[in-house]
Structure 1
Amino acid sequence: MVTLTAARSGPNASLLRGYRVGRAVFALGSLLIAPALMADESLRVGVYHNPPKLFLNDQQHLDGILGDLLLAIAEREAWQVEPVACEWQRCLALLERGDIDLLPDVAWSEARAERFRFHSEPALHSWSQIYQREGLSIEAVVDLAEQRVTVVDGSIQQDHLLALTQRFDIPVDWINVPDFEEGFTKVANGEADAAAANRQFGEWRASEVGLVDTPLMFQPVQLYFAASPSLPQTVLERLDDYLTRWKADTGSPYFATLQAWQAGAPTPPETPKWLRWGVAALIVSLVVALLVNLVLKRRVARQRVRLATNEAMLGTILDSVDAYIYIKSPDLTYQYVNHRICELFGRPAEAVIGQRDEVFFDPATAAEIVQVDRRVLASGEKITLEESHVLKHDDRVRTFLSIKMPLTLTPGSPPSLCGISTELTEYLEMQSRTHYLAYYDALTGLPNRRLLMESLATTIEEDGQNKPFGALMVVDLDHFRLVNDLQGHASGDQLLISVAEQLRQALDKDAMLARFSSDEFVVLVNQLDPQQEEAAAKAERIARQLMTTIHRLRNSRSLPISASLGLALFNGESGSLDAVLQQADMALQQAKASGGNTLRFFNPDMQASVLERANLEADLHHALARHELELHYQIQVNHKGVTTGVEALLRWYHPARGWVSPAEFIPLAEESGLIIPIGDWVLTQACQQLARWSRQTAYAPLTLSVNVSSVQFQQPDFINLVEKRLEQTQAPANRLVLEVTESLLMREPTRVRNTMLRLREQGVRFALDDFGTGYSSMSYLKRLPLDELKIDQSFIRELLTDKADAAIVDTIILLAVSLGLLVVAEGVETQAQLDWLKGHGCYRYQGYLLGHPKPIDDLFTDKMPRR
């Protein structure tokens, strides 16, 4: 292998060698004068072997493009750089724990941004590329056919190229090598035709071994210096400042470094005379610095003697203070504790000194204390915070107001931590009791009128633009006075407690339940829905549930209990607090005037809409039993006009309403839970149809796609249900395609993935429906066992007139190809749309141009599916 430090030549190499000699001398000077310069910072830098971007040279010094850039910045900032050799995964683990401060050559991602800190300006741009021997002409991925190509075993280049060539059935003779250098050597020796490598390595070595680059570039990335969470933000700000300024100046060290690592073999020049004079001057400066250092050491010694003289007096003062005072060493072991700390731990000072917090606190408390203490030492700033601690062998939570600050005991040494804590436990308990009496009902424990009014006022006064509707419900017990008069107030109080408990259990945790007056309760529900009709339907469902809950109650003498309920919707445009309360109260009075035990909306039109929706839901309950549901099928065609499969679409024919739109009844079925039996019926019908087709040669190859609701998919027995229907019908599992939505993938992704993998083992296939309308995470998407992506018809509709839609569709097609997925375009209605899709690599289509949804008996009446 070529020695990395000898792979440069020309004038740039001369400048770089001179710069490095000066850098080495400066580093030596920094080590000698570091004790005297208390502002110097020491950076522990992780280094993994990845030339020419990053590696340790023969002298175990930091080297490479990113190494030179970091050292150039460190030289100007007087940072001491301490390289720490580690493998890639080990480097990441050390960085997250704070055992190293910086790790160069890290690409940004959301997952890494949660673990580490990044500066803003990329340090380097990179990508992967194919390099070929001279005389060969590789211009596209298809040109790799029958070629011998080297890839680093286990690299990202290998994964990407294998997936890409397998997707297009391109036969390639892959040659696995341990590193880029051996891959280039094999091409140069005629043992291979081309090699895959990152751009920096290719530009650095390709011309030397007789390789030339090709137009095949892939996987662009931006590279940064990733930082430990404990590293001060000022270091990252300095990195950004140098990178931004140097990138704007072509004569800066940034461009000099890049040019030096792109050059060929060097001819070692003599050290410039100016540099020799500079070294001599620096040596003189170092001698002076050493003398100054000796003077400072003597001063420190005298200060230590003075500190020891005053230590006894200071200890007496600190022991008399009514606060917990302590000092911890840089590794967070106790160095000093006053008398109050000893009382808290129940141990003498000798038994506390040298111990860590895990000896005295429970594990969770000790971990929190360590995290805060490390943050204080890393930031170098004083903080004030409220801490809740639990001592070992004591379950009581004790609250402290703590001040923590770094404390430099010895100049030049890492700071210790000084803490002063005052206990607030008794004060907070008293404050909590006072707050409870002011804002909560003493009988039921519910929020009282005051807390409800404040919460409602806050909700109504929020910005009303595009704000979802909320609901205010006033619940009044019918004939409650008779309970008090006939059975006594004790019985009435017990009834109110029972009503409060049952209503609390019936509501979601986000809803607020309050006792408004004697027998009147108020429910506040926020964030129902942006659409008024949908919000009204959800509110009506909650109100009916509350009334049913109350109706099931009995008091001590088994008297029936009922309630009247008034309901008003509100959003940011609903007016004042008093207006919303007045509307809900008016609705309650209408309910009581109707005889009680009923519900009324403030808005009559809304009342009618809710009743209409309730009637539709009631009819949907009987649709299966009355055989009003049926499946229609729409064919899916490939680019050759061959029918490859069908999608089953649920339809409802109501005897009085006629055909009911799926957009109207399917959301209703999901909200009411009816989608579970309906979905089972659809799955059974689809499996029976697949079983029939499997016995017919012309139809056996067809796939059948079924939409699966997220409610249905998340049922605990969903896997067993699918397996049972496949077994009952003997349908071929590999022809069943379950279509899921993006919203399902984002909800409990681990559980969804496990469910899909279990069904994939049976042969069931999966398609992602309406792709592009949701917010799928690419990290989830690539881990799921998907077979198809279906482009939503909203993008296809404006494909030829809207450049944004065309760009989105083109991107989805490329994404599907890179992930090895089939891509199906929905809603194809014109020949022009079909031609555009064919020309951009989409080879599966569905839409009115190819066929309308039809009953199964009419689906293939015109002609048999062509194969």
Structure 2
Amino acid sequence: MLGHYLFCYLLLYTVLFRTRGRLLLIIHFVEHSALLLALCWLMTLNVRCWNRNDHTGKLITGSLFGMTCIIGMMIAIELENGWVFDARSVVLSIAAFVGGPLVAAIAAVLGGGYRIWLGGAGMGGGLVVIVLSVLFGLSYRYFYQRGKVGNGLLALFCFGVLVHAALLVHFMLLPTASSTAIALQAGVPMLLVMPLTTVCLGWMLEDIKRRSRDERELRIAATAFEVRQGLLVADENSCILRVNQTFSAITGYDADEVVGEHTRLLRSGRHADAFYDEIQQQLLAQGRWQGEIWNRRKNGEIYPEWLSISVVRNPKGHITHYVSSMEDITERKAAEARIRDLAFFDALTGLPNRSLLLDRLQHAMDLSARSGRYAALLFLDLDSFKSINDLHGHQTGDQVLCQVATRLGDALYSSNTMARLGADEFVILIENLSMTHQNAAARAEQYAMRMKELLAKPYQIAELELYCGASIGISLFKNTASPADEQIQHAEIAMHQAKASGRQSIRFFDPTMQEAVSTRLQLEEDIRRGLQGVEFIPYLQPQLNAAGQLTGAEVLARWQHPERGLLAPGYFIEVAEQAELIEQIDLQMLRQASAQLAVWQGAPATASLCLAVNLSARLLYQPDFIETLLQFLSESGADPRFLKLELTETMLLDDMSAAIACMRELREQGIRFSIDDFGTGYSSLAYLQKLPLDQLKIDQSFVRELPENDGSAAIIRAICALAGSLQLEVIAEGVETEQQHATLLQLGCEHFQGYLFGRPMPLAEFEQLLVTRGVAKEQGSVSCLIAD
């Protein structure tokens, strides 16, 4: 079509214009355009900068286009004085179309500046040519970017004709006498040569841009091909065409070793042909497959990999290539295995842990329900294991545990399951015992007896010969709807019952045990709720001196239960200690005692009264105990000198050095200390010298025997003498009769506490006692403590 148009155009020119001058002008335009095209071709090496959107590159490119225009004007033909004709319109319009506004502006400024420097009659018209060429080029670029026009040869030719036709119209409309003649003389040669020059220059620049873009995409593709994943490209027959370096690193094959080979070269032999047929069917149906697969390296090693295969089709839908990406997941599989082992197996013994045991136990319960045969859980707890750890260290204890696991494992059948639950707790699951309860119990007991005999044998650890038996609890189950962890709990309860009856014993679970445990757990939950609601309140038992004057009281905890009423310590203390809640109860007593001391110290009649508070075994060793206690005293404003902490002998032996440090720090604040139940523990005289004590409290077991028991009297006399030499007070608790009181006075005791002087009582009743004994002259002078 373009050729037909050019032929018609030349024919029209031949008919209308057949003068020799115009032919020379055409030849000049052709030579001039060829020179400019050559200069632009040299300049187009800088075109690749446009692809990076590099402003520096565009500045250089615009400058080069502008210099090309200047050179064109330097060698241009001059039809009349000041009228210069060249190919700058082609250069500027294509520069605007291809390079954009910045390139066109720079080229136009340079070209326009030079045209102004040339001057002459045609300077104004020449500047208009520059402006129109740029505007037409930018307009073409605008419509091209929005898909309104193309950039093919015909589109470029039409663009060139439009630009130069507009320029001819511009020349004809100039207000000079010779402008029309000049336009007619140069018009046809311009319309013949310049559109073709526009096509050549535009096509050349677009081709260079396409080549630059293709090179960049090839570089990106080549870089992307060398990724962390192994890549393989195969043809439609699964023959390998190309692989990357990661593929070689994974498989051990170099590229030249596998190119041309079938992909079955990599097969491990672990998968059947049906597996590969299924992959092929999915590729045909969906065009993609991915999953785990086992392949073989060059050295014969079989390894797991994650494989993704994609299908490449031609426009007709036929498969032309297969592109595969692969990742060696050997380390990931090993990590998953390690995580699985950590999640389901004990790190020390390699036995299943609680999680895996619960899973297998649930399976055993389901099987037992279907078969109607009993199964059993044996819960083993090692006796004296703590002593081994304390005397010989945890490393020795770990070796004992490993030997225990080995002995038990060797004695069990493969169908049985053994697990380690805690430090020295093991559980054995025995399935398929018997359909009758009696026979199942007999067989379970036989297993337990054999386990007990095995574990009772000595353990040889280096040069040590250690002994460590086991207490065993047994739980039988069949067709039960209870959860798996409840069965473990039943066996554990039976084990604790075995320990309570004597070490190395065997006990079966009894439902009454569960009832007791449930009651204890409910009580524990009630204690937690009671602590949150501050339901534990202080009761005070009076303490008197030898003159019968009240010196203070001992704070004893009572539980004001919202449903059961007032509860004595015997109801909740043991459970609170087992649940490790006794410390919180003691802290509540300390807080309320501090507040009551502050109230008493506000009244002169009660300012000298002291309060003694018992401390639990673990509270003294808590790192924040000192700070907490001092905060109670600071918030209430109580004088620390009137607070006395009662400690037991046995608790101090757990960590004597830490106890001494804590007591001395509190003693520096004025707080006093008393040893409770003195004479019933170790009664070491050494710690009496080290501990910052103020008082010894004679245990009521000695007081109860007075005055009949001379031995108790001798012990009390010795305690009083010892305390006197150490400048310590002595107080006797549990004084219930006048005879006991009189005897204690004779033995040298000067402070007393017991039912003879008053039972533990609420604060209001204690204040009445203060008034009765004349400690407070007016009842209103003593304010009651209100627990927050």
Tell me the TM-score range normalised by the shorter chain.
0.3 to 0.5
User: Which fold has the larger relative contact order, with Cα–Cα distance below 8 Å and residues 6 or more apart in sequence?
Assistant: 1
- The structure number with the bigger radius of gyration is 2
TM-score (norm 2): 0.39
**Which of the pair is proportionally richer in helix?**
2
TM-score (norm 1): 0.36
